[in-house]
Structure 1
Amino acid sequence: MSSLDPQSKPASARFRLFTPILAGATLRERLLACLGALISIAVTGMIGGYFFGDGIDLPLIVAPMGASAVLLFAVPASPLAQPWSIIGGNTISALMGVFAAHVVHDPVIAIGVGVSLAIAAMSFTRSLHPPGGAAALTAVLGGPAVAHWGLLFPLIPVALNSCVLVALGIAFHKLSWRSYPHVAAPVAANLHGTTDLPSDRRVGFNEQDIDAALVNLDESFDIDRGDLGRLLRQVEFESLVRSNGKILCRDIMSQDVISIEESGTTEDARALLLKHNIRTLPVRSDDGRLIGTLGLRELAHASVSFKDHISPAATASAGDKALSLLPVLTDGHTHAVIIIDAELKILGLISQTDLLSAVARALPAGQSDNRAA
């Protein structure tokens, strides 16, 4: 077969045209983006028409709003698509365009000055928004409408269009169960009230490593620094689970699980915890279904009955990969995961000790000895 034959290409190359250009983009996300843009741009134009449709020399909606809608609905987690970036970036850029048009009389030079000033102003005001460049150009080349409204043009219709678009975007994302405005996950805190880093942050890379890598790569990336760190840690975790996927929960769980019925007393629960030297006591209903868990922390506030102090249980299935429990059992709060079946019946329990033993067995031969040396 000829090397030029399309059939000789790898499958990944043949179907690259159909793969999303953005990492993590799904068909559902793209369809939602299309729907959101359709609704928001149409409603923004309708509102503009309501206010400016009686002969006022203003467009119903300025062209940069189309580009803003792409960011707002297609990549809502981008720092460039947040509310201040859209409203501030478009408005400030339009103001820079109006300024350039009034100061520089050569339109060719004015358009360059307008866009360059827009980038500088957006950078200093932390409102960088790519459609802002188009807003600056619109202000320079907008013709009689822009000239007539002068310094008011950045406010009406640019700022007004931007505010309406952002308000519609917030409402749409909330209704479609998407997070917007996007807030990067906060840095994990130590739940024990000490200055130590959480246990999962004491090994591997840290924030200083991320900063050093960004400096050495010498490029700007369209992702929040906090999101970048969260992504890298998730990659580390997925790699660990994949590399040790043969160890399942059923292989390491304790099957003789000490538990208590919901009708038991606080004294009974405390006695079981102390007698068996355990930290987590599953609570089951009369028919054996898991209800939640108890620990000495919960029992410290209970009187005779503990029903109002039962905590939600961390659960997993017997066929789940054991190392997938790492985030739960290292969160500084959870001491055990209850293994249940489809009917919520208790099959077993995996404690922090059980998982630690599994991780130790998963280490390549000699690796623990090398670390100790």
Structure 2
Amino acid sequence: MQRWVKSRLFVPMLAGATLRERLVACLGALIGIGLTALICSLLFGTNASLPILVAPMGASAVLLFAVPTSPLAQPWSIVGGNTISALVGVAVAQLVAEPVLAAALGVSLAIAAMSFTRSLHPPGGASALTAVLGGPAVASMGFLYPFIPVALNSMLLLALGFIFHKLSRRGYPHMSVPVPVNTHGTLDPPAQLRVGFREEDVDAALATLGETFDINRNDLDRLLREVELQTTIRSHRTLLCEDVMSRDVIYVDAGASVLEARALLLDHNIRTLPVVDTSGRLAGTVGLRELTLAGDDIRQTMSTASTAAADDPALSLLPALTDGRTHAVVIVDDDHFVLGLITQTDLLAAMARMPLLEPETERLEPVGSAPTMLAAE
């Protein structure tokens, strides 16, 4: 029993949660609530008839700092949800004299109002309830209460959340990764979406489960596709980049002319040409399309190279090589020297032979860390 308690005590309740994330959330709430109260007290003094900080802000802080990717923790949800709910609560308090009935109506109507305005925020229920049962101090403020202090508290907390997340290098507000699109201007869906589950399959699964999940629709799609990818990588984890990569890599010096680079691409029938600096380290890549837009200096038009390590699973390159833009991934060592290159063709050929591969793939000995020349796609 004691062992079970120890093993379960600090297990994250949220998917992806870590101890570090929780500690960052604690620090954020400490700073956010503390500064919100301080600013409001400086603005309004210590007038007992004016609540400078309303209790629902504590719950808003939990969402803002602990689960900033939640749809319920986004800016409109925090400001709109709290303010709209408080408005509903004040209106119900003035129309319904019975406290119990007013409390029930206030919370239920607040949920409805937040749902219609797409501002669902759980602390909004507490804002509505406070407006109904807050006592003489809240009642005397009437319809001023939803704006001062509720909306003001919400906006101050949100502003501090923006600053805190930026300083801690966490993305906020949460922006869903765009759904892949066809980059060729045709009506076909992008390659990543032509097989596997579809949007209607996700909708059917949600309808079958009959539950509401606290995750953005696009994030759910992204999560499921990443699960598919990780399952594929795990199933073939013995196939590494070093098993698939071309080792005779054609490259061009950063100081070479556009004509030299174009000649290498055409002579070797390749689409991606790594560019190395004076020390031999990878600086970027160029292709024929980039070179047509270049002047005399290929460094002005080269793209950031997509890279991987030799001991990375080969199938981990699937997202990059199926994005409609990347034709090859450059394999580099820890010092960014070119070891090899994997093209779309290389990976496709390896995947075609997967049913024939033994669980432990024979490893090829590395030729060396210095870049030499690139195999044709």
| TM-score w.r.t. length of structure 1 | 0.92
* Cross-structure match for 1:59: 51
Whether contact under 8 Å (1:257, 1:348) holds in the other structure is yes
Rounded Cα–Cα distance in structure 1 between residues aligned with 2:285 and 2:22: 41
Whether contact under 8 Å (2:252, 2:274) holds in the other structure is yes
* Cross-structure match for 1:89: 81
SS at structure 2 position matched to 1:349: strand
Rounded Cα–Cα distance in structure 2 between residues aligned with 1:346 and 1:126: 50
CA displacement, residues 18-42 of structure 1 (integer Å, 9 cap, x when unaligned) = 1010110111211111111001111
SS at structure 2 position matched to 1:156: helix
* Cross-structure match for 1:232: 224
1:183-262 to 2 correspondences below 5 Å: 183-262=175-254
1:99-248 to 2 correspondences below 5 Å: 99-248=91-240
Following TM superposition, the consecutive aligned residue runs of length 4 or more in structure 1 with deviations greater than 6 angstroms are: none
SS at structure 1 position matched to 2:284: strand
* Cross-structure match for 2:335: 343
CA displacement, residues 299-331 of structure 1 (integer Å, 9 cap, x when unaligned) = 112344423222221111111111111111111
Amino acid in structure 2 at the alignment position of 1:136: A
Given candidates 319, 322, 328, the residue that maps to 2:320 is 328
SS at structure 2 position matched to 1:277: coil
Given candidates 26, 42, 45, the residue that maps to 1:50 is 42
Whether contact under 8 Å (2:180, 2:192) holds in the other structure is no
Cα distance, 1:307–1:97 mapped onto 2, change above 3 Å: closer
RCO comparison, higher one (Cα < 8 Å, 6+): 2
2:347 pairs with 1:359: no
Rounded Cα–Cα distance in structure 1 between residues aligned with 2:203 and 2:190: 20
2:265 pairs with 1:273: yes
Whether contact under 8 Å (2:64, 2:161) holds in the other structure is yes
CA shift for structure 1 position 245:
0.6
CA shift for structure 1 position 54:
4.8
Cα distance, 1:113–1:307 mapped onto 2, change above 3 Å: closer
1:26-41 to 2 correspondences below 5 Å: 26-41=18-33
SS at structure 2 position matched to 1:98: helix
Rounded Cα–Cα distance in structure 1 between residues aligned with 2:253 and 2:150: 64
% same residue: 63
| Runs of at least 5 residues in structure 1 that lack an aligned partner in the other structure | 366-373
Rounded Cα–Cα distance in structure 1 between residues aligned with 2:167 and 2:102: 43
CA displacement, residues 107-164 of structure 1 (integer Å, 9 cap, x when unaligned) = 1111111111111111111111111111111111111111211111111111111111
Whether contact under 8 Å (1:36, 1:73) holds in the other structure is yes
* Cross-structure match for 2:64: 72
Rounded Cα–Cα distance in structure 1 between residues aligned with 2:38 and 2:279: 59
* Cross-structure match for 2:10: 18
CA shift for structure 1 position 82:
0.9
Rounded Cα–Cα distance in structure 2 between residues aligned with 1:363 and 1:155: 65
CA displacement, residues 185-208 of structure 1 (integer Å, 9 cap, x when unaligned) = 122111112222111111111111
CA shift for structure 1 position 55:
2.9
Given candidates 295, 301, 305, the residue that maps to 2:287 is 295
Whether contact under 8 Å (2:78, 2:121) holds in the other structure is yes
Rounded Cα–Cα distance in structure 2 between residues aligned with 1:341 and 1:108: 68
Rounded Cα–Cα distance in structure 2 between residues aligned with 1:70 and 1:299: 51
CA shift for structure 1 position 14:
5.0
The count of aligned residue pairs is 357
Whether contact under 8 Å (1:83, 1:166) holds in the other structure is yes
SS at structure 2 position matched to 1:338: strand
| TM-score w.r.t. length of structure 2 | 0.91
Whether contact under 8 Å (1:46, 1:60) holds in the other structure is no
Rounded Cα–Cα distance in structure 2 between residues aligned with 1:106 and 1:182: 41
Rounded Cα–Cα distance in structure 2 between residues aligned with 1:48 and 1:287: 57
CA shift for structure 1 position 67:
0.6
Whether contact under 8 Å (2:85, 2:128) holds in the other structure is yes
CA displacement, residues 235-288 of structure 1 (integer Å, 9 cap, x when unaligned) = 111111111110011111111111222232222221211111111111223432
Cα distance, 1:319–1:60 mapped onto 2, change above 3 Å: same
CA displacement, residues 48-78 of structure 1 (integer Å, 9 cap, x when unaligned) = 2122225361112000100110011111111
Bigger Cα displacement from structure 2, 263-272 vs 229-238: 263-272
Cα distance, 1:114–1:286 mapped onto 2, change above 3 Å: closer
Amino acid in structure 2 at the alignment position of 1:115: V
Report the aligned-residue RMSD.
1.6
Whether contact under 8 Å (1:265, 1:306) holds in the other structure is yes
Whether contact under 8 Å (2:254, 2:299) holds in the other structure is yes
